[in-house]
Structure 1
Amino acid sequence: MSKVMEYIKENELAWQPSFNGEVDGLHGYRGALIVEEGKQISPDRKLPPKIQAKQVVMISDDSTIKFITCELDSFNDFKPLFEKYKEYFTTEGLYILYVTDLDGNGTFTYEGIEFTAFMLDESSVWNEILELADLEKGDMKKLSPAEKIEKLYEELLDNDVKEASKTYEEMCELIGESSKQLMGAV
Structure 2
Amino acid sequence: MSTPMEYIKTNSLDWQPSFNGTLSNGMNGYRGALIIEEGKQISSDRKLPPRIQAKQVIMISKEEKIKFFACELESFNDFKPMFEKYKQFFDQESMNLLYVTDLDGNGTFEYDDVTFTAIMLDESSVWNELLDLASLEKSDMKQYKKQDAKVEKLYNELLNTQIEESIKTYEEMCNLIGESSKQLMGAV
**Structures share fold, TM-score greater than 0.5:** yes
Aligned to 2:37: 36
Q: Post-superposition shift, 1:185?
A: 2.5
**Which residue of 1 is the match for residue 84 of structure 2?**
83
Distance 2:134 2:140 in 1: 13
Give the Å deviation of 1:69.
0.4
Please name the residue that 1:7 is paired with. Answer: 7
- TM, length-normalised to structure 2: 0.97
Determine the structure 1 residue equivalent to 2:171.
Answer: 169
Mapping for residues 36-75 of structure 1, pairs under 5 Å: 36-75=37-76
CA distance in 2, matches of 1:155, 1:53: 23
Distance 2:49 2:176 in 1: 28
Find the aligned partners of 2:18 and 2:71 in 1 and give their Cα distance: 14
Residue identity opposite 1:147 in structure 2: A
Q: CA deviation at 1:23?
A: 1.1
Distance 2:60 2:157 in 1: 14
Point out where structure 1 has 5 or more consecutive residues left out of the alignment: none
Distance 2:130 2:119 in 1: 10
Q: CA deviation at 1:102?
A: 0.3
Counterpart amino acid of 1:67?
F
CA distance in 1, matches of 2:41, 2:147: 33
Distance 1:18 1:42 in 2: 27
TM-score normalized by the length of structure 1: 0.98
Describe the superposition over 1:55-81 as per-residue Cα deviations: whole angstroms up to 9, x where unpaired. Answer: 010001110111110000000000000
- Say which SS state the counterpart of residue 86 (structure 2) adopts: helix
SS in 1 for 2:64: coil
Look up the equivalent residue of 1:59 and give its one-letter code. I
1:112-139: CA deviations, max 9, x gaps?
0000000000011111011011111101
Q: What is the Cα deviation at residue 44 of structure 1?
A: 0.7
Instruction: For structure 2, list consecutive stretches of 5 or more residues without a partner in the other structure.
Output: none
TM-superposed CA distance for 1:141, in Å, is: 1.7
Which residue of structure 2 lines up, in the alignment, with residue 121 of structure 1? Answer: 122
Distance 1:160 1:175 in 2: 24
Cα distance in 1 for partners of 2:149, 2:8 equals 22
- C-alpha RMSD over aligned residues: 0.8
Counterpart CA distance in 2 for 1:26 and 1:38 is: 30
Aligned counterpart in structure 2 of residue 183 of structure 1, from 166, 182, 185 = 185
The secondary structure found in structure 2 opposite 1:9 is helix
Report the counterpart of residue 156 of structure 2 in structure 1. Answer: 154
Q: Which secondary structure state, in structure 2, belongs to the residue aligned with residue 81 of structure 1?
A: helix
Which residue of the partner structure matches residue 16 of structure 1? 16
Deviations 1:122-171, CA, capped at 9 Å, x for gaps: 01111101101111110112212111111111111101110000000000
